[in-house]
Amino acid sequence: MSDRVVFACSCEGTVPLDAATIGSACGGRLETGVELCGREIERVRAALETGASVTVACGVQAPLFAEHAADFDAEARLSCSDIRENAGWSREGHAAGPKMAALLAMAGEAPSPPPIVTMESQGIVLVYGRDEVAVEAGRRLADHLDVTVLLTRPKEVAPPRRNEFPVLQGTIVGAKGHLGAFSLRIDDYALPSPASRQALIFGEARNGASSTCDLVLDLSGGIPLFPAHDLRSGYVRIDPRDPAAVEAALFKISHLVGTFEKSRFIGFHTELCAHSRSRITGCTRCLDVCPTGAITPAGEHVAIDPYVCAGCGSCASVCPTGAASYALPHADALMRQLRALMRAYHAAGGRNGVVLFHDEDHGTPLIQALARYGDGLPANVLPVSVNELTQIGPEAVAALFAYGAVGVNLLVRDRPKHDVETIRRLVALTDTVAQALGYGAEGGGAVVSLIETDDPDRLSAALAFGSRGTPAPVPAAFMPVGPKRNVLQFAFREMHVAAPAPVAVVPLDAGAPFGTLEIDVEGCTLCLSCVSACPTNALSDSQDRPLLAFEESLCVQCGLCAATCPENVITLKPQIDFEAWAEPRRIVKEEEPFHCVSCAKPFGTRSTIERVIAKLQDKHWMFAGAAGEERVRALMMCENCRVEVVMNTGLDPHAAPERPKPRTTEDYLRERETRGDPLG
């Protein structure tokens, strides 16, 4: 229990409130009301005035409560949670007390706001089109913005009555940038003739022109200039044949002038990135899934452009090292919310809890429609709203099963705007692990599933008939803190400890971010090139002895070690070995060091030095005879002593035995003539 005040409203008696159940686990002092947004608003204001943290069980009137909180500079102390559509307005609303307590407890774990970046637009807009539609759009915007119209392959375009803005010819062949900082490459660039009469006549065209602008209005009807173009701030593309869409675009782009703030969705730590080492490419998971092209290679790591990033979170979800982490909220903040949710649900008497992840734009309207016009959510389905479904990582799902959930669902659009392959891989990975550890249902069926629908009734059916797994006999209560990779490792360990039927090893599909290395010990020469390439220190050596050690919990299956190994003795094997995760590290190969015959300093491995000597002694002219013995002895010295010996003794390269002369056709003919063989 904290000093937080929790207001639960029955919304004029339409929400059944079990005050005893809710108050036992909501994480604060419970006060109930009937109309907190109206005649009882002073109760909320009085609580805010005391300086206490306040949670109001209302989502619809959250803006109203925020206005009242601003009167006391208490915006940071206020949180709101919708228990009406998410719990109370349901056919099972009378049994939803534990869920209400859980949702209110989760609201008390409100994360801190993410960092922001700013973008500056001075209103310089390029209108890109093919005909008079683009020219008319430029005329409509000219009073508000600095307009340039660029026509690609124009046919007959009437000259403007007055040259209020430039009308040029050109085709955009390359584009980059964002709101306030677009850079365009233009071919077929030409200026109009001032003598154009019935139609615009353009002069001689040239390629390789460039242009910069703050905004781009694309009315060309062609291929978008950017991937995931609807997520590129400052770029507005619509069908020029749709007058209503054109009007909406003109209104939107005319207001994109000034300073704009944007969340920095992804926190990135270059030192953890496993993208590349020594010009050998390793992990490309984030590059493969980024829909906007905001991620680019930058040497041994990647770079994320926060101005282009749209915040889908796919990169953070698939990043195995934690180099990329989502900031809305941070991974550990989301985990603390899930912990509060499940602990409160069980403390209030809830059983067989199923978590439903959804986003605000798509999932919330479906849940509200189901509450208003259907049966509402079941009492054991706990909805969790996130910024983007693609931000959910395996650590969140693993933690939920450890905390006692019996199922996890992710709700996405029936026709998603962008690729949801990362979510599908997440579902497959976590369901495989959950089934292997005994969390599955007796009759089979997935316990981690993807619900793809835009229909509230189909959502209701999927939740009603979805598989329910086996809960953890003793749910975990760990507090997730620290970097993403640490949280991920700890969540899976706790999932294994709490499992109904734990196993030591869970095989995984190729591409999983966990696994071991199969190393041919006989073929390994302990050159340790794999150690220098490993970005996570899963492979390590020792300063005292020649050895190669491996720590499986740190391996992210990036493949850099296998690609770097000159002997090709390393093979990736995706799996989760919980026993290996509990070990600090294991010695893969260890050999006796070879001691310098001059100063006794250990260097190299005995087997390697002896193998080199065996290949050279009495088999190469430099290591043959009396002089060769001294050179063989130099091979048995450390780098310092060897240099000293070589410099003092010297080496005459002309002492090599004379090579046999090349044999020519004349030599063969002469030999045949000597033997008396016929010549033809």
287-297: pLDDT as tens digits: 999 999 999 99
Q: Give the pTM.
A: 0.85
pLDDT of 163 reads: 86
Give the residue ranges of DSSP H helices in 535-664: 560-564, 578-582, 606-616, 625-635, 639-649
Q: Which CATH number fits the domain 118-261, given the four candidates 3.90.1150.10, 3.30.1490.20, 3.50.50.60, 3.40.640.10?
A: 3.50.50.60
Q: Examine the pLDDT at 1 and tell me if it is beyond 70.
A: no
Q: What is the CA radius of gyration of the chain?
A: 35
CA 673 from chain centre, in angstroms, equals 79
Q: Which residue has the higher pLDDT, 634 or 385?
A: 385
Share of the chain above pLDDT 70, in %: 97
pLDDT (mean) for 499-503: 96
- Do 264-326 and 515-590 agree at the fold level? yes
User: For residue range 451-497, what is the model confidence (pLDDT) as tens digits?
Assistant: 999 999 999 999 988 778 999 999 999 998 878 888 899 999 999 99
Residue with tokens 């915040």: 311
Domain spans, the chain:
1-80, 118-261, 264-326, 515-590, 593-655
pLDDT of 253 reads: 96
CA distances from 425 to 47, 289, 294, 310, 490 (A): 46, 12, 22, 21, 21
Q: Examine the pLDDT at 676 and tell me if it is beyond 80.
A: no
Q: Examine the pLDDT at 383 and tell me if it is beyond 80.
A: yes
Q: How far apart are CA 546 and CA 542, in angstroms?
A: 7
pLDDT of 614 reads: 84
Contact 549, 585 (CB under 8 A): yes
Structure tokens at 536: 């996570």
Cβ-based neighbour number of residue 674 at 10 Å: 8
User: For residue range 20-39, what is the model confidence (pLDDT) as tens digits?
Assistant: 999 999 999 999 999 999 99
Structure tokens at 158: 């009437």
What's the topology of domain 515-590?
A: Alpha-Beta Plaits (3.30.70)
Q: Examine the pLDDT at 649 and tell me if it is beyond 70.
A: no
Structure tokens at 204: 């001689």
Structure tokens at 246: 């054109």
pLDDT of 187 reads: 97
The residues pairing with 574 across neighbouring beta strands, listed in sequence order, are 515
pLDDT of 281 reads: 93
Q: How far apart are CA 265 and CA 279, in angstroms?
A: 29
pLDDT of 657 reads: 66
Average pLDDT across the chain, whole number = 91
* Phi, psi dihedrals of residue 430, rounded to the nearest 5°: -70, -35
pLDDT (mean) for 667-679: 78
User: For residue range 146-201, what is the model confidence (pLDDT) as tens digits?
Assistant: 999 999 999 889 888 888 899 999 999 999 999 999 999 999 999 999 888 889 99
Helices (H) and strands (E) in the chain, counts: 21, 31
User: For residue range 563-597, what is the model confidence (pLDDT) as tens digits?
Assistant: 999 999 999 999 999 999 988 889 999 988 888 88
Residue with tokens 């950017």: 226
Strand 124-129 relative to strand 448-452, pairing: unpaired
Q: Examine the pLDDT at 645 and tell me if it is beyond 90.
A: no
Tally the residues of the chain. 680
Q: Examine the pLDDT at 655 and tell me if it is beyond 70.
A: no
Q: Examine the pLDDT at 355 and tell me if it is beyond 80.
A: yes
pLDDT of 327 reads: 86
Contact 355, 102 (CB under 8 A): no
Strands (E), 341-417: 354-359, 381-386, 407-412
What kind of architecture, by CATH, is found in domain 264-326?
2-Layer Sandwich (3.30)
Contact 12, 88 (CB under 8 A): no
Nearest to 29 by CA among 10, 46, 7, 49: 7
Give the residue ranges of DSSP H helices in 71-200: 97-107, 132-141
